[in-house]
Amino acid sequence: MTRRYIEGATLGRRWTLAVAAAFGATVVLGRLIAASAANEPTLSDAVAVLEKERSAAEQYAVFLASVGRKDVDTYLRGIQLYADAKADFDGLIAALRLDLIEGHNPAQSPKFAAALQVAAEKRVAFTNFVSDKVVGKAEGARPGLIDVVKVVPDLVKAITDAGLAIWEAFRKGSKERQDAILSEIDHLRWRSFADLAKAGD
């Protein structure tokens, strides 16, 4: 074999190996991207996070209204905590709605971040209060209340991720789709304690 032939064969093998390596890297990258996309919350997942917060808070409020009346101080304190949490969560929903309309990413919005921090603190304060002061002292069978996030940073992260997923779906959607998303968000506002107390009677 001539030297030129050997060098050509060597280069050919190197080229083949390089192509194979590049192809393998592309396949791996594609799988990583697909896996990442699969792990990203969908619009329905994101809305479900906020819906669970609403449902859980209302369920705790109904339990407070049904069982907590025996201790007037505890009952009144619980009502105040629910009212505070409701006001701030409704404010959070309003901030999210405004960010969507104005084209702002909620995950990068100082207004949304501030509203979220306060709302998370108030929700955790309310549900922890009911768990400790009402559920913990209830006689007989314990109620099947919804499991809730009990730590503020974890709740902030969950809702931030949900807000980002909602924003992604909103900005990519048609006008009709955007209107539907805004309508769905409007239904995430909490009911008043007075209405929930009637349901618990």
Structure confidence by residue, pLDDT tens digits, 143-187 = 678 889 999 999 999 999 999 999 999 999 999 999 999 999 999
How many distinct structural domains can be found in the chain? 2
Beta-carbon neighbour count of residue 172 at 10 Å?
A: 10
Q: Convert the pLDDT of each residue in 100-124 to its tens digit.
A: 999 999 999 999 999 999 999 999 9
pTM comes to: 0.77
User: Would you call 60 helix, strand, or coil by DSSP?
Assistant: helix
Same domain? For 26 and 80 the reply is no
pLDDT tens, 29-86?
A: 344 333 334 455 699 999 999 999 999 999 999 999 988 888 999 999 999 999 999 9
pLDDT for res 15: 43
Sequence-distant contacts of 2-8: CB under 8 A, at least 24 apart: none
Q: Which spans in 68-151 are helix H?
A: 72-102, 110-129
136 confidence band (pLDDT: 50, 70, 90): confident
C-alpha span between 126 and 77 (Å, rounded): 9
| Contacts with 181 (C-beta within 8 Å, 6 or more apart), sequence order | 43, 100, 166, 169, 170, 173
- Predicted pLDDT of residue 6: 45
> Same domain, yes or no, for 102 and 24?
no
pLDDT at site 140: 59
What letter does residue 68 receive in the DSSP assignment? G
If you search the block for the tokens 């009346």, which residue do you land on?
Answer: 69
CA dist 74 → 121, 129, 167 (Å): 19, 9, 39
Q: Are residues 13 and 86 in the same domain?
A: no
Considering the domain architecture, whether residues 51 and 99 belong to the same structural domain is answered as: yes
* Residue indicated by tokens 């209060």: 129
Q: Are residues 18 and 59 in the same domain?
A: no
- Residues spanned by the domain of 102: 43-200
| Distance (Å, whole) CA 12 – CA 31 | 29
